[in-house]
Amino acid sequence: MGEFNELIRNFDKIRDYMRDFYIYGFKSRNDFNRKSARTYDNEKRRIESYMGEYMKWSYTKSGKNSFISMDCSKIPVNPLYSAWKSKAFTSNDIMLHFYLLDILNSHAKIAISQLTDEICEKSHQTFDIQTVRNKCSEYVSLGLLKSDKQGKSLYYSLSKESFDGLLAIAPGLAAAVSFYQGSTALGEIGNYIMDNHTIENTLFNFKHYYVAHTLEDNVLLDILSSIRNKQSIEFENYNEAGNLSSTSYGIPLRVFVSSATGRRYLCIYQPRIRRFFTYRLDHIKSVKAIGFCEDTDKYLKILDKNIDKVWGVGFGGRSRMEIVCMKLYINEQKEHYLLERIAREGHGGEVLRLSANVFLYTKEVFDTNDMSPWIKTFIGRIIQLEGSNQAVIGRFYNDINRMKEMYDIG
């Protein structure tokens, strides 16, 4: 039986548990069927340790449901960041880290062979030169060290571009980091800096704070890297229930963010069927770059040319393009604000005045279904609704008829 350890090697596992069981709070221990119940209990203990006071529970018919509960407008720092600080490490990782920085602090620069000898001498442990070189290379990539090749030997030194140095030049940087950690993607980077320099966020609260985004930030980083490098990708995508996965391919072009829900979507182009598609970021498990795509800019221009016909994030629909026509009654004298609202929210749709107080709104979109919530905000003013997607139009009238029956309206 494995011993319980609070630290983890695989972040994907803890992310899935947090999302499926605790962010949404719909599942109980009885719904867990992937592995043994002990596995669930271990993951639950880890998450309780990370989240502390934010863990809550309730009893339902299916059993005890544990979930994470917080008022996002009042928390100074996203508590889910703690999951990123739980990565396991070996004793050699710790030993090398401290001895390496301590030795470099007393040398302007030092050759890798001498550095290895001094580490072995101080630690009374044997490290081969390749192990030390790998650790140094990792720290060079993180910006902690600098490397310099002289002859056949590689020399290392501490980087002088530290955050402390920048903070001395620009004291307001601490406030900027406090704002960054809660306001944009990959905010956990700012949170790491705050932890290492004992900075507390006492300035900012965020009304729309989508804390669960941090669980998918590693996926986002891989996607953004592929977009920047114009790489095609292969990614593993889960269905809504989370019990089926599929592998998809495409050219990543944009990441859309819903202004209503904060949900993030990956927009890709699939050349084989010549269509754009969007996928929810929180349903993507992993992303892998599979090669350079020289036509990326061409597909990006096509997307930009058609973006005004995307109402939400959908490129679906039975046909490539659909038409929606909505005839509205609007009192021109008293309700001019409604015309202003249509101009502001209507995604460039055409508005024609047919007669006194009667207007026709027409819009060409990829997916009429995405428009449904917006169209329904005009119930009571809609004289007639028509469109090329008869399924959506029919559903609208069915909903109206059901409401008439429910409220006994003749």
Going from N- to C-terminal start, the domains of the chain cover 11-69, 74-211, 213-305, 322-407
- Please give the residue that has the higher pLDDT: either 254 or 312: 254
**What distance lies between CA 4 and its chain's CA centroid?**
29
Fold equal for 74-211 and 213-305: no
Q: Say yes or no to pLDDT of 267 above 80.
A: yes
Q: What is the predicted pLDDT for the residue at 26?
A: 65
- Please give the residue that has the higher pLDDT: either 108 or 240: 108
Name the fold adopted by 213-305: SH3 type barrels. (2.30.30)
Q: How buried is 5 (Cβ within 10 angstroms: 0-12 exposed, 13-18 middle, 19+ buried)?
A: exposed
Band (pLDDT 50/70/90 cuts) for residue 61 is: confident
Q: In this predicted structure, which of 13-27, 68-82, 258-272, 378-392 has the lowest mean pLDDT?
A: 13-27
Instruction: Measure the CA–CA gap between 148 and 110, rounded to whole angstroms.
Output: 10
- Please give the residue that has the higher pLDDT: either 19 or 256: 256
Q: What is the predicted pLDDT for the residue at 181?
A: 93
Q: What is the predicted pLDDT for the residue at 1?
A: 46
CB atoms within 10 A of CB 26: 12
Band (pLDDT 50/70/90 cuts) for residue 178 is: very high
Q: What is the predicted pLDDT for the residue at 124?
A: 86
CATH architecture under which domain 74-211 falls: Orthogonal Bundle (1.10)
The sheet with strand 275-280 has its strands ordered as 275-280, 264-270, 245-257, 231-238, 284-292
Q: Say yes or no to pLDDT of 2 above 60.
A: no
pLDDT digits (tens, 9 = 90+) for 314-367: 887 556 788 999 999 999 999 999 999 999 999 999 999 999 999 999 999 998
- Please give the residue that has the higher pLDDT: either 305 or 62: 305
Instruction: Measure the CA–CA gap between 304 and 24, rounded to whole angstroms.
Output: 34
Residue 1: which residues within 8 A CB-CB, separation 6 or more? 38
